[in-house]
Structure 1
Amino acid sequence: MQFLSSWATNDRRTLLHFSKATLATFCQHVQASDTECEAGGLLLGSVHGAHMLIEQATIPTAWDKRFRYLFERMPFGHEAIALSRWTASQGTVRYLGEWHTHPEDHPHPSGLDRSEWNCLSAKRRDKRPMLAVVVGRKSLYVELVPSSGCGSVLTPVE
């Protein structure tokens, strides 16, 4: 399994890069078999103008609800990691968004995913679009979700 690390909006005005550690977390949680449950967590990293470096993806905790076709992230654990990284980096490493898996080769967000993303984006204090990633068996779905309206889907950059 090899996911590409660099992604961009169609107009190339926003670039993002997933660290090796982030991609490794995605790969470790791919729903390869018919019995594996969805997984997910937070995306933490730094912002550089319109661009982002995703340095870490938190992994599911014991409190999260994991089913074949549903992942519900509970705040415990994830938020403690995010706060710790933010404090240790003096505010440069921050919450950028959310990721979760789908049991399909080339994933697409569900209606539930979209409504959840819009709620999460609306709650952002910095008013930036939320980064949403769906990890499939063969590819990623990557979108910047604003608090209202349509988001920008990103595509891999070779």
Structure 2
Amino acid sequence: MQLMSSWAADDKRTLLNFSKSTLETFCQHVQASDFDCEAGGLLLGSVHGTHMLIEQATVPTAWDKRFRYLFERMPFGHETIALSRWMASQGAVRYLGEWHTHPEDYPHPSGLDRSEWNRLSAKRRDKRSMLAVIVGRKALYVELVPSSGRGLVLTPVE
């Protein structure tokens, strides 16, 4: 699977860049076989105006609930990593959103995904939209989700 590192909104005013290690984490968790369970984690990075650099994707922990068609992230592990990265960077590297896999080639969010994203976005202290990524077998789905309603879908940039 060839994943693009640069993504943008249609108006090109919102740009997003995934680090090489983030894309490698996505690739390592693709649900390639019929038995692979969903995986997921947090997206950590830095904000530069309307642009974002995603520096790290946390990986599933032993506490997370992983099934074929469901991933439930537990706070343990993920939040410890996020807090330590935030403190070490003096607040520059922070929580930007969440990622998880779907066992489909070109993933689309489910109703459960949407309600969870809206809930997580509403909890953000900085009131920014939450970055939501679904890793499919052949492509990514990338959206900036506000606290209510649908967000801004981003597409790969060559």
Provide the residue aligned with 1:137 in structure 2.
137
User: What TM-score, normalized by structure 2, do the two folds share?
Assistant: 0.99
Provide the residue aligned with 1:95 in structure 2.
95
SS at match of 1:124: coil
The Cα shift of 1:84 comes to 0.3
Q: Letter of the aligned partner of 1:91 in structure 2?
A: G
Provide the residue aligned with 1:108 in structure 2.
108
Q: Distance in 2 between matches of 1:69 and 1:3?
A: 22
Q: Letter of the aligned partner of 2:99 in structure 1?
A: W
The Cα shift of 1:150 comes to 2.0
Provide the residue aligned with 2:34 in structure 1.
34
Q: Distance in 1 between matches of 2:121 and 2:104?
A: 25
State, as a whole percentage, how many aligned pairs show the same letter: 86
Provide the residue aligned with 1:81 in structure 2.
81
SS at match of 2:23: helix
The Cα shift of 1:22 comes to 0.1
Q: Distance in 1 between matches of 2:101 and 2:81?
A: 20
Q: Letter of the aligned partner of 2:53 in structure 1?
A: L
Q: Distance in 2 between matches of 1:150 and 1:40?
A: 21
User: What TM-score, normalized by structure 1, do the two folds share?
Assistant: 0.99
The Cα shift of 1:2 comes to 1.4
The Cα shift of 1:149 comes to 2.3
Q: Letter of the aligned partner of 2:33 in structure 1?
A: S
Runs of 5+ consecutive residues of structure 1 not aligned to the other structure: none
Provide the residue aligned with 1:122 in structure 2.
122
Aligned length: 158
C-alpha deviations, 1:23-75, integer Å up to 9, x for none?
A: 00000000000000000000000000000000000000000000000000000
Q: Letter of the aligned partner of 1:59 in structure 2?
A: V
**Runs of 4+ displaced beyond 4 Å:** none
SS at match of 1:85: helix
C-alpha deviations, 1:87-138, integer Å up to 9, x for none?
A: 0000000000000000000000000000000000000000000000000000
